[in-house]
Amino acid sequence: MKKILNNRENGYCIFSVTLEDIQQESMRIIGRTLDDDELQAAAKGIDWGLSTGIYIVFESAIREAVAEKSPPMAVSNTSVSKCEKK
């Protein structure tokens, strides 16, 4: 984690999924790699899945990080609805 904190470049990647990652998981799940069409479809599904509800992940992670440093605060019942896709 120190490496991340010491490397505060704009756009620094915290999490990524490579095509190699997808192919490795494909081997584990179905015993073979995906062809180009399957890989494109899987990548699209993974992108959608990881993007859906990302605001919840951000809010939870930020609130937890802040809570570890400070005394308990009242939590608002407000939800972040601007980020929801329709």
Note the pLDDT tens digit of each residue in 3-44: 555 566 667 788 889 999 999 999 999 999 999 999 999 999
Cα–Cα distance for residue pair 31/66, rounded to 1 Å: 43
- Contact assessment for residue 74 and residue 45, using Cβ atoms and an 8 Å cutoff: no
Outline where the chain has alpha helix (H): 2-6, 19-30, 36-51, 54-69
DSSP 60: H
Looking at the predicted structure, is the pLDDT value of residue 83 above 80?
no
Q: Is the pLDDT of residue 84 over 50?
A: no
- The half-sphere exposure of 40 on its side-chain side, counting CA atoms within 13 A, is 2
36-81: per-residue pLDDT in tens? 999 999 999 999 998 888 889 899 999 999 998 876 555 555 544 4
